[in-house]
Each structure stands twice: as C-alpha cells, then as structure tokens.
Amino acid sequence: MRHLIDFGDLNREEWDALYARASRMMDAPEQFIDACRGKVACSLFYEPSTRTNFSFQTAMLRLGGTVFGFADPSSSSVAKGETLKDTVKMVSGYADVIVMRTPWEGSAKAASLYSSVPVINAGDGGHMHPTQTMADLTTITRLRGRVDGLCLGLCGDLKNGRTVHSLIKAMAKFQDIKFFLISPRELAVPDYMRAFLRENSMWFTEVTSLESVIPQLDVLYMTRIQRERFVDPLEYERNKGVYVLTRRKLERARSDMLVMHPLPRVDEISIDVDDDPRAVYFQQARYGMFARMALLEHLALQPRQDSLPPVEIGTRPVCSNPRCITHTEHYLPPIVRRTGGVECCAFCDAALR
Ligand code: CP
C-alpha cells in the first residue's frame, strides 16, 4: 500500500514521473476525464482550507471520480468522540483514497496504520504538507525549467510553516540547492529540520533580513506567520507583520526571480506586488490542482488492502511534542526511529528527550 505522508515517501524518479503526468494533464486535460472513473475520494478536513480541499475535489472530479467527506468535523461522529482510528477504518471501507488535514502532527502517519486505502497528507499541524510541495515543484519546474542549482529564500514563520518543512525535505532530492532561511530567531526552523539539512549536506544559512539576501534569490517563498499555531499569543504579537514584501523591495531582486507563497496570505505580500510578472502565487495554486490530479491517479487506482498487519496498542505517548497526534490518540503504538543518531517520534519527527 502506498501513501503520501511525507515527500520523502517519493523517490526522484517517482516525482519526475508525477511531474510529467501533471504536465500532460495541464496541456491536454480532456485526455484524462475518465482516468479515475468509478473511483471515490474521501476528504477529511479537521482544519479550514480553501486551496487544498477544493483543488483535491476538483482534481478528482476532472478525472471522472467522485468525492465525499467533511470540511467541518463537528458535522460527523468526531463530535461524539469517535477516534481517528475508527473514523479512518470506517471511511476506508467506503472510499478508494483518503485525503486528510488535521491540526495534529503525525496524524496522517497514524491514519495510514489503519487504512485499507492510500492516505494523502493534506497538512498535519505545523509538520508537513507534501502536496503543497508538489504544487511548488510543479510551479518551479514549469516556469524555470529546472529545480537543480537554484537558490531559494524561505521567508516568514519557518517554525510552524509546514509547507516550508515539506519543501526542504523535497529539495534533498535535487542537486546544488542553496537555502536562505529568513525568519525572526524565535520562528526559525525546528531542530529536526536543521538536522535533516545537515544530514543531507544541504547548503543553508539562517538570516533575519530579507532585504540583504533578496538580490541573490532565484525563488522567494513567502509564508504567513501562523497565528493558529502559537501557544503564547504574545509571541505572535511580537512577530506578526515582521516581513512585508513590497514593490519597492522587489526592485532589488532579479528580473526572473519567482515570488511564491502557498497562500493564504495575510499582510506579508503587499497587494501591489500581485501585478508584477514575478508574482506567481495564484498560478502556483492552479498548478497544485494538476499535481494533485497526477497523485490521485497514481494512488486511487491501487488495489485495496483489506487485511492489514496488526498494530501494537500503546498506553501513553512517548513524544514530548504537545501537538503530536500521540497526545490525543493514546492507543497509538510507541514507534521510535533514529535520525542522525537521535531518537525521534516516528509520527511527528520531534526528537525524544
Ligand atoms: N496552501 C494551502 O494549504 O492553502 P489552504 O490552507 O487554503 O488549503
């Protein structure tokens, strides 16, 4: 059974094949109107979404399939206390693929243990968002012709921004990538991401000033300060509005730099940037639909796996990350893995201390 929990689940050849397929879907969508005829996707959105939810739904409809699910868990038996395991076991009996977004880190991995059909991570808390990365890579490849050799500036809330974490993971599959990680010190990338960058010998430097590095960038990837992830509201107040990309700041950037953003934006890209030809974030959101079409076709046609291996029953969380799914679903097994000699939670990647 294949799932997409983390971009690391795909190797470079698989990604290249998915991109080629997404490109064909963009160029000749009429050739794919029956690609998933008879297939059903279930969309479980425990958190708000515009792009991811709607683009997955339209992707399945454009492939000839159908979609059911919820965009508000209070309309389902989750409101009566149903566990994630039971919800997933139920809907995997009805659907051919599950698309899932939650505020709990590691939840898609948890769901995959109990699902008879592929699970797609559509964002798990501040952890990962691999299908946004598919949209991002599709945009860069389509507009720049390549990903290898590029210099990317990732700017904003790099601590809580799951799109940034997934993109960094994906870039390990490409050659000669340089990262400028631009954030306030208290919103820098989590330790597990820094460990990942070092382990994969990726070039990166952490800075606080956008203006000082903008002339060097091929891609500027802006992100929102993720208000909903802050435990301390004062920390949010200190950091909101810290980066605002304006037309004036863009004057120092290369004429072919791409300005990207996973969206939604709040105030980090001024409206007057929208008409600059380098601003490609709305195009990026549309490309995401084609990337998701390619992924759905790849996963939804797999045979069901009705006999799943037994899963050990846990009794208490081993992970200290309070946003980890193991803190809300106590039956999850205490799975630990080693990364760079450090023991980590296999669900949310946090180091176990
Ligand atoms: N980029 C993204 O995930 O947007 P939504 O939250 O609207 O899905």
At 1, the pLDDT band (50, 70, 90 cuts) reads: low
Q: 233 or 54: whose pLDDT is higher?
A: 54
Of 20-24, 154-158, 228-232, where does mean pLDDT reach its minimum?
Answer: 228-232
Q: Is the pLDDT of residue 43 over 90?
A: yes
**Sign of dihedral through CA atoms 83, 330, 323, 89?**
negative
The rounded Å distance from CA 236 to ligand 1 centre is 20
Q: 236 or 180: whose pLDDT is higher?
A: 180
Measured from the CB, is residue 102 less than 6 Å from ligand 1?
no
Measured from the CB, is residue 71 less than 6 Å from ligand 1?
no
pLDDT in tens, 134-155: 999 999 999 999 999 999 999 9
Q: Is the peptide bond before 190 cis (omega within 30 degrees of 0)?
A: no
Q: Is the pLDDT of residue 287 over 70?
A: yes
Length of the chain (residues): 353
The rounded Å distance from CA 289 to ligand 1 centre is 12
Which residues are registered as beta bridge partners of 269?
245
The rounded Å distance from CA 317 to ligand 1 centre is 29
The mean pLDDT value for 334-339 works out to 89
The mean pLDDT value for 124-128 works out to 95
By the 10 Å C-beta count (0-12 exposed, 13-18 middle, 19+ buried), 170 is classed as buried
Residue 186: its pLDDT value, please?
A: 93
Q: Is the pLDDT of residue 93 over 70?
A: yes
Q: How many Cα atoms occupy the beta-carbon half-sphere of 37 within 13 Å?
A: 5
The mean pLDDT value for 289-297 works out to 98
Q: Is the pLDDT of residue 159 over 70?
A: yes
Measured from the CB, is residue 284 less than 6 Å from ligand 1?
no
Torsion of CA 310, 315, 319, 320, to 10 degrees: 160
| Element spanning 260, H or E | strand 258-260
Mean predicted lDDT score pLDDT of the chain? 95
- Mutational test site, ligand 1, from 44, 46, 50, 127, max ligand atoms within 8 Å of CB: 50
Measured from the CB, is residue 190 less than 6 Å from ligand 1?
no
The rounded Å distance from CA 121 to ligand 1 centre is 12
The mean pLDDT value for 113-128 works out to 97
Ligand 1: nearest atom to the Cα of 48: 6
The mean pLDDT value for 99-107 works out to 98
Q: pTM for the full model?
A: 0.95
Which residues are registered as beta bridge partners of 99?
43, 120
At 326, the pLDDT band (50, 70, 90 cuts) reads: very high
Q: Under a CB-based contact definition with an 8 Å cutoff, are residues 151 and 203 in contact? A: no
Residue 179: its pLDDT value, please?
A: 98
At 228, the pLDDT band (50, 70, 90 cuts) reads: confident
> Percent of the chain beyond pLDDT 70?
100
Q: Is the pLDDT of residue 175 over 90?
A: yes
Measured from the CB, is residue 200 less than 6 Å from ligand 1?
no
The mean pLDDT value for 251-262 works out to 98
Measured from the CB, is residue 288 less than 6 Å from ligand 1?
no
Q: Is the pLDDT of residue 230 over 90?
A: no
Q: Whose CA is nearest to atom 5 of ligand 1?
A: 49
Q: Whose CA is nearest to atom 4 of ligand 1?
A: 51
The mean pLDDT value for 343-349 works out to 94
The mean pLDDT value for 328-348 works out to 91
Q: Is the pLDDT of residue 353 over 80?
A: no
At 51, the pLDDT band (50, 70, 90 cuts) reads: very high
